[in-house]
């Protein structure tokens, strides 16, 4: 049987991909916004709705950052494992950043010494989530990419840190999602619309029917629990 796609909706909120200045942008706090998006996702037979959690307002230079959406209601459904991984991910990333101390690059043409320490960037890290043994060379990769494609720093950051983005007609987007899932790049996608609360409406109305026509997305719920939607065995 052809592999079935799982789809989830991420309520847009405190991040720089949420467009609050659009005339269609509504409240990120009022319950009606959550109800709208949840109903859209359920109408489109999505697996689940994802609500992010964060406790602290972002600051920049000691002041509260005022340019992005700020504030969120309480989201009770925190997936602990996700955040354990996130915490470990960050700690590991900092270890990797710190594997270069900043004074390794001598680049002395006269003596021919480029690195003061030939093992700069050497890292070992092993835990439940990550097993890393090697040399951290992201900076070098990024520089090479920027040079090759003549990217500005801004363009480079967008290129290397952006999430998977689907742009195009409903048919293009449906094909792209299906191709990735059938190629086992993932089992599905968590979609983050740019606009609250109506940002999912068009996807639900145009892309989902195309996925259903291809027989890769459910036309109705078969079970009632989240585990059942995800095809996980009962415990």
Helical segments of the chain, H only: 31-43, 80-98, 138-149, 153-161, 170-182, 201-202, 208-213, 226-229
Residue among 37, 30, 35 at smallest CA distance from 193? 37
Site for other proteins contains 54 (CB under 8 A): yes
Site for other proteins contains 154 (CB under 8 A): no
Site for other proteins contains 168 (CB under 8 A): no
Q: How far is the CB of 54 from other proteins (least distance, A)?
A: 6
- Residue 174, C-beta contacts closer than 8 angstroms, at least 6 positions apart: 207, 210, 211, 214
Judged by beta carbon, residue 188 or residue 199, the one nearer other proteins is: 199
Instruction: Mark the segment that binds other proteins (CB under 8 A) among 59-67, 102-110, 111-119, 203-211.
Output: 59-67
Coil, helix or strand at residue 17: coil
Query: Of 74, 131, 184, 220, which lies in the binding site for other proteins, with binding defined by CB under 8 A?
Result: 74
Site for other proteins contains 115 (CB under 8 A): no
Q: Which of residues 4-43 bind other proteins (CB under 8 A)?
A: 20-21, 25, 29-31, 35
Q: How far is Cα 24 from Cα 16, in angstroms, rounded to an integer? A: 17
Q: Are strands 105-108 and 63-64 parallel, antiparallel or unpaired?
A: unpaired
Site for other proteins contains 76 (CB under 8 A): yes
Site for other proteins contains 194 (CB under 8 A): no
Residue count, binding to other proteins (CB under 8 A): 24
What token pair was written down for 223?
A: 């079970």
180, burial (CB in 10 Å: exposed 0-12, middle 13-18, buried 19+): middle
Q: How far is the CB of 194 from other proteins (least distance, A)?
A: 15
Site for other proteins contains 67 (CB under 8 A): yes
Site for other proteins contains 213 (CB under 8 A): no
Judged by beta carbon, residue 68 or residue 84, the one nearer other proteins is: 68
Residue among 7, 9, 5 at smallest CA distance from 198? 9
Name the residues that contact other proteins, by CB under 8 A: 20-21, 25, 29-31, 35, 54-57, 63-74, 76
């Amino acid at each position: 049987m052809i592999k079935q796609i799982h789809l989830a909706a991420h309520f847009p909120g405190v991040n720089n991909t949420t467009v609050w200045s659009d005339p269609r942008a509504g409240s990120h706090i009022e319950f009606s916004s959550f109800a709208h998006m949840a109903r859209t996702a359920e109408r489109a037979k999505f697996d689940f709705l994802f609500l992010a959690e964060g406790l602290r307002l972002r600051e920049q230079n000691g002041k509260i950052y005022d340019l992005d959406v700020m504030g969120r209601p309480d989201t009770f459904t925190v997936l602990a494992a996700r955040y354990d991984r996130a915490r470990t991910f960050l700690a590991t990333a900092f270890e990797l950043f710190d594997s270069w101390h900043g004074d390794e690059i001598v680049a002395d043409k006269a003596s021919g010494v480029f690195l003061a320490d030939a093992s700069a960037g050497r890292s070992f890290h092993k835990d439940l989530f990550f097993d890393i043994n090697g040399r951290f060379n992201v900076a070098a990769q990024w520089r090479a990419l920027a040079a090759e494609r003549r990217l500005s720093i801004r363009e480079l950051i967008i290129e290397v840190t952006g999430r998977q983005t689907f742009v195009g007609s409903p048919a293009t987007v449906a094909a792209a999602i299906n191709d990735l899932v059938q190629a086992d790049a993932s089992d599905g996608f968590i979609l983050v619309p740019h606009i609250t609360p109506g940002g999912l409406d068009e996807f639900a109305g145009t892309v989902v029917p195309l996925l259903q026509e291809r027989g890769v997305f459910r036309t109705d719920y078969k079970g009632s629990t989240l585990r059942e939607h995800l095809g996980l065995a009962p415990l």
